[in-house]
């Protein structure tokens, strides 16, 4: 049993970097765009309404600040690891070199929840926005082509159904990704520019319709909200903190930058920069949007049982409708529809690179580590992922998918905070281009916050996640442990990094 704690030697990581077939084409701003592409999705146009009404009121801006700070603790730890181990695999790779194989496997298994299940959730969300966009132009898809079978039957229908838009958007994204990282990054850069421009438009245009009375009181008095016989506390300082938990997952995605380290031109410097920069930029945008939204509409107007029952579903678009600027709803819907494509693209890219790292270590089949020498991407890996994600997304309700996403992210964040501290103690002399300041404090805060959020996940999420972990342990002991290169002496003294310099990278985008 002691072998399951064995660690991957640093020499093996060095060899991975030297032998990698991935093309180093990403500079710091392309990496930053990948982070922004993953973080900013449809959530900014939805979570703002729910957070304002159910939790914090106008003080939702403070909730975004708190959530951003909570993410910074994990982001700083990610950044230090990326400066030491600039390889694909994200938290999985970091844990393998510090805590041991069994933890690395479980983190990798958990990251499937964050990326693969997250991709499915985004695909279903995109289908909803796309259908709404078509309706704006008078086009209506039949329910049996936009609804998963379970939801379709529950609505009293019969016969065949599938979410065709969700199925097709995944295949479209895969067709872009298999052509190469450079082309995919260019597409992501373009989409990120579009959606950030739309968010800036919302901020600037919305300023002219702010009524400052809506911000008074900024932190409403604590109260109890009751809906359908269920009551919960809202507002006050406790509501602001609860709001931070509710909108925390709007920030999830900055770790996608670390999954692309194997394709970064100067990973030890650029990956830490991109992780921090994407998080800071998105935090600022979130704060400004929440201030504008709660200034345009009173937070109580987002009540789903009140005067504007639909406002909570599309709060930003509805705020402009009430202001007499319905045309802005078209811009916002188009931006959300296009913007979700980049989220899906980055999440599938991240999952494929995690699989690539795990496959190179022998923990999953070797098919996932085959890199196309012409395009420099793991083509078979991407195609298999695309088939699985597209089918599941077209047949599964979004709430079931969403339940599976959160745990993997928080678990990975927690383990990165632990692992970076362990490595600082055990290997204090390693070269670190970036070091977390006051590491014991930062790591402890990161661990505490993420464990707190795990404990406060829904019962369904906890049950699904526990079942997923059990399956992961079974697969590890039946397959991964037996095929692990580390367990079979694959990383010994004969497997040292070559001395020749890395291949000259392509120019930055």
What is the pLDDT at residue 496?
39
**Torsion, CA 440, CA 446, CA 447, CA 450, rounded to 10:** 180
What is the pLDDT at residue 498?
33
Show the low-confidence residues of the chain (pLDDT under 70).
Answer: 1-2, 14, 16-17, 20-21, 42-43, 46, 86, 88-89, 227-229, 249, 310, 313, 398-406, 458, 490-509
What is the pLDDT at residue 170?
95
What is the pLDDT at residue 493?
37
Contacts of 361 (CB under 8 A, 6+ apart): 8, 96, 484, 485, 486
Q: pLDDT per residue over 302-359, tens digit each?
A: 887 778 776 776 788 788 888 888 788 788 888 888 888 888 988 898 889 889 889 9
What is the pLDDT at residue 497?
34
Contacts of 400 (CB under 8 A, 6+ apart): none
Closest by Cα among 476, 390, 475 to 116: 390
What is the pLDDT at residue 490?
64
Q: pLDDT per residue over 52-64, tens digit each?
A: 888 888 999 998 8
Give the integer Cα–Cα distance in Å for 143 and 155: 10
What is the pLDDT at residue 40?
83
Give the residue carrying structure tokens 């938290």.
Answer: 91
Q: What is the pTM of this model?
A: 0.79
Helix extents (H) in 118-230: 118-136, 149-154, 164-177, 181-207
What is the pLDDT at residue 17?
67
What is the pLDDT at residue 204?
92
Residue 483: other Cβ atoms inside 10 A: 15
465-to-14, 84, 401, 462 alpha-carbon distances in Å: 34, 30, 12, 5
Give the integer Cα–Cα distance in Å for 283 and 65: 7
What is the pLDDT at residue 401?
60
What is the pLDDT at residue 503?
41
> Do the beta carbons of residue 392 and residue 120 sit within 8 Å?
yes
Tokens read off for 322: 């009430």
Please write down the long-range contacts of 71-74, taking CB distance under 8 Å and 24 or more positions apart: 71/248, 71/251, 71/254, 71/279, 71/283, 72/276, 72/279, 73/417, 73/442, 73/443, 73/445, 73/446, 73/449, 74/255, 74/413, 74/416, 74/417, 74/446, 74/450
Axis-axis angle for helices 398-426, 439-455 (nearest 10): 160
What is the pLDDT at residue 215?
93
């Amino acid at each position: 049993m002691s072998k399951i704690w064995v660690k991957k030697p640093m020499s093996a990581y060095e060899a991975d970097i030297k032998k990698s077939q991935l093309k180093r084409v990403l500079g710091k701003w392309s990496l930053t765009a990948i982070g922004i592409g993953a973080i900013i999705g449809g959530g900014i146009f939805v979570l703002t309404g729910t957070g304002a009404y159910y939790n914090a009121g106008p003080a939702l801006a403070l909730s975004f600040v708190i959530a951003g700070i909570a993410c910074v603790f994990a982001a700083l730890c990610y950044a230090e690891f990326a400066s030491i181990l600039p390889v694909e695999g994200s938290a999985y790779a970091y844990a393998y070199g510090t805590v041991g194989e069994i933890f690395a496997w479980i983190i990798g298994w958990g990251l499937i929840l964050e990326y693969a299940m997250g991709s499915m959730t985004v695909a279903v969300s995109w289908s909803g926005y796309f259908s709404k966009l078509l309706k704006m132009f008078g086009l209506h898809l039949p329910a049996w082509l936009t609804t998963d079978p379970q939801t379709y039957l529950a609505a009293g229908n019969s016969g065949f159904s599938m979410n065709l838009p969700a199925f097709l958007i995944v295949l479209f994204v895969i067709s872009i990704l298999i052509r190469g990282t450079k082309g995919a990054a260019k597409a992501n850069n373009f989409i990120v520019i579009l959606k950030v421009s739309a968010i800036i438009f919302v901020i600037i245009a919305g300023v002219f319709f702010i009524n400052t009375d809506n911000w008074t009181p900024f932190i409403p008095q604590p109260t109890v909200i009751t809906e359908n016989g269920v009551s919960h506390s809202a507002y006050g300082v406790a509501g602001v903190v609860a709001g931070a938990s509710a909108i925390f997952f709007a920030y999830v995605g900055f770790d996608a930058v670390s999954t692309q380290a194997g394709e970064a031109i100067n990973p030890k410097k650029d990956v830490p920069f991109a992780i921090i920069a994407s998080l800071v930029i998105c935090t600022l945008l979130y704060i400004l949007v929440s201030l504008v939204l709660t200034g345009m509409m009173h937070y109580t107007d987002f009540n789903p049982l009140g005067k504007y029952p639909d406002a909570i579903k599309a709060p930003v678009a509805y705020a402009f409708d009430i202001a007499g600027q319905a045309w802005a709803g078209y811009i916002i819907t188009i931006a959300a529809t296009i913007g979700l494509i980049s989220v899906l693209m980055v999440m599938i890219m991240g999952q494929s690179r995690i699989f690539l790292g795990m496959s190179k270590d022998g923990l999953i089949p070797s098919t996932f580590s085959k890199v196309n020498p012409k395009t420099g991407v793991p083509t078979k890996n991407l195609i298999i992922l695309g088939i699985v994600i597209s089918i599941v997304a077209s047949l599964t309700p979004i709430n079931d998918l969403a339940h599976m996403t959160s745990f993997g992210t928080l678990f990975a964040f927690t383990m990165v905070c632990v692992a970076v501290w362990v490595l600082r103690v055990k290997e204090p002399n390693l070269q670190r281009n970036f070091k977390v300041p006051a590491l014991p404090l930062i790591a402890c805060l990161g661990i505490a916050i993420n464990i707190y959020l795990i404990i406060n996940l829904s019962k369904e999420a906890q049950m699904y996640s526990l079942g997923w972990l059990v399956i992961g342990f079974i697969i590890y002991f039946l397959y991964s442990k037996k095929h692990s290169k580390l367990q079979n002496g694959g990383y010994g003294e004969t497997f040292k990094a070559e001395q020749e310099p890395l291949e000259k990278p392509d120019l930055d985008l």
